[in-house]
């Protein structure tokens, strides 16, 4: 069957929904079994791993999908270059996270060994380039099936670890194995499909310089954006302690698990947008349709989560996490700005207007760190939630409105919020089809 946008989106949605649903079940069992203290330490290590892991991002995610969609003949070369550059980045990530661990936890051998163990997975993460290859070909079903297999295996191991009452560090090892299995399945499917092996190449200094010039702003933007997402947990750990991190992590789960929705929409539409970019009328009509979908999604998620999540949070995770409800009611409104950001960021990547993404991310990260230092000592997790929400609004709404390149896209999604009838019309058409 010929791949298309709708099928690709449904596969991506199924991928994230099924895996996040299973992840929520696993998280519930882990959080209840080990309690806020141990679960908070586990969440801190994962957040640290993700934060340093962005060093290996190399600014290639959206850029690589665009290049693969527009130059399908040279995909082999593009993938080899991407794997090579990402490999260099993840080597730096490995060194950085272990240096951070040694400086901050020189007297805690267990945390240092846990961080060292989880950082080992950086060496296979350059294969994430295959994610972007399949997305650019509108074949997300391959990513989906690989992730489902790995998640089921990983979840089974975690359930067993909880059942036999092993220490929480073994949950981390199971998570590492799950990531390895995902990339293994995906690589095997790629080899069978394309009949070629992908391996790193010798670094061409001129090529590296050219790619770096194209993506350095996206690279630093990605680093800043992830810090904006994860620095609150790291700072809570250093200022308050692991218990507060555990409670805060539970409060953010209900909002963060939905961030895949706008990402799936944009990833599915990117190949079409690239192909029709020359037809201005059709191109702008398609952009508005995407803006409508993302606006509707963000409003729906906020309303559903704000009213329903507090009713089930304590029942799911236990009374030890009851203080997470108030944090959740603040943090969930960040979805409005995150969804907006994902929309206009992908559009700016297509337009090659990277400087707006770079400036807004850097300023948002700086503001978030300052606000966390001010608010966390007095308000703990609630202070981190307000710091994050204010930073999102500043970075993802106010700053982009200053620049003409991004203002047009922010205006489109704001227009969507003001025209609910158009959104309802799109929903009616989708349901009818």
Nearest of 67, 74, 178, 80 to residue 129 by alpha carbon: 80
Residue-wise burial string across 43-65, b where 16 or more C-beta atoms lie within 10 A, e elsewhere: bbbbbbbebbbbbbbbbbbbbbb
* pLDDT of 392: 92
pTM: 0.76
Q: Which residue range(s) make up the domain with 171?
A: 5-432
Q: What are phi and psi of 164, to 5 degrees?
A: -90, 5
* pLDDT of 212: 64
Q: Using CA atoms, how far apart are residues 177 and 92, in angstroms rounded to an integer? A: 22
* pLDDT of 318: 87
Q: Using CA atoms, how far apart are residues 259 and 247, in angstroms rounded to an integer? A: 20
Mean pLDDT by 10 residues, the chain (433 residues): 57 72 87 92 89 73 62 70 81 91 86 90 84 71 82 92 92 90 85 66 60 66 73 89 92 82 78 76 83 86 88 87 92 91 82 79 89 93 94 91 87 78 59 52
Total domain count, the chain? 1
Q: What are phi and psi of 59, to 5 degrees?
A: 65, 20
Supply angle C-alpha 105, 106, 112, rounded to 5: 60
């Amino acid at each position: 069957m010929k791949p298309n946008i709708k099928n690709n989106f449904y596969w991506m949605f199924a991928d994230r929904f099924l895996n996040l649903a299973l992840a929520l079940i696993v998280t519930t069992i882990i959080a209840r079994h080990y309690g806020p203290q141990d679960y908070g330490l586990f969440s801190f290590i994962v957040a640290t791993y993700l934060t340093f892991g962005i060093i290996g991002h190399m600014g290639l995610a959206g850029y690589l999908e665009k290049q693969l969609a527009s130059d399908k003949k040279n995909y082999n070369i593009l993938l080899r270059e991407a794997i090579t550059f990402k490999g260099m980045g993840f080597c730096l990530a490995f060194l950085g996270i272990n240096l951070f661990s040694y400086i901050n936890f020189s007297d805690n051998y267990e945390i240092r060994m846990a961080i060292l163990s989880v950082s080992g997975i950086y060496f296979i993460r350059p294969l994430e380039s295959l994610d972007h290859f399949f997305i650019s070909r509108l074949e997300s079903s391959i990513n989906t099936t690989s992730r489902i297999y790995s998640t089921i295996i990983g979840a089974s191991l975690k359930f067993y670890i909880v059942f036999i009452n092993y220490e929480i560090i073994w949950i981390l090892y199971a998570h590492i194995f799950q990531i390895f299995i995902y990339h293994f399945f995906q690589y095997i499917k790629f080899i069978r499909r394309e009949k070629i092996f992908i391996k790193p190449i010798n670094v061409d200094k001129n090529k590296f310089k050219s790619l770096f010039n194209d993506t350095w702003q996206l690279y630093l933007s990605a680093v800043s954006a992830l810090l904006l997402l994860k620095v609150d947990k790291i700072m809570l750990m250093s200022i308050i302690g692991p218990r507060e991190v555990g409670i805060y992590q539970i409060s953010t789960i209900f909002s963060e698990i939905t961030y895949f929705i706008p990402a799936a929409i944009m990833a599915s539409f990117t190949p079409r947008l690239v192909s029709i970019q020359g037809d201005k009328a059709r191109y702008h009509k398609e952009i508005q349709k995407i803006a409508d979908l993302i606006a509707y999604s963000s409003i729906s998620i906020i309303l559903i989560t704000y009213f329903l999540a507090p009713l089930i949070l304590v029942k799911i995770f236990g009374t030890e996490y009851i203080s997470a409800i108030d944090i959740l009611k603040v943090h969930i409104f960040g979805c409005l700005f995150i969804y907006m950001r994902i929309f206009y960021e992908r559009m700016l990547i297509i337009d090659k207007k990277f400087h707006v993404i770079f400036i807004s991310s850097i300023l948002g990260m700086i503001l978030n760190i300052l606000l966390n230092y001010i608010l966390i000592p007095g308000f703990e997790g609630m202070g981190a939630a307000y710091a994050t929400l204010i930073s999102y609004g500043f970075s993802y709404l106010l700053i982009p409105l200053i620049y003409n390149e991004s203002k047009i896209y922010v205006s489109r999604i704001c227009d969507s919020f003001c025209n609910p009838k158009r959104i309802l019309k799109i929903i009616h058409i989708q349901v009818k089809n």
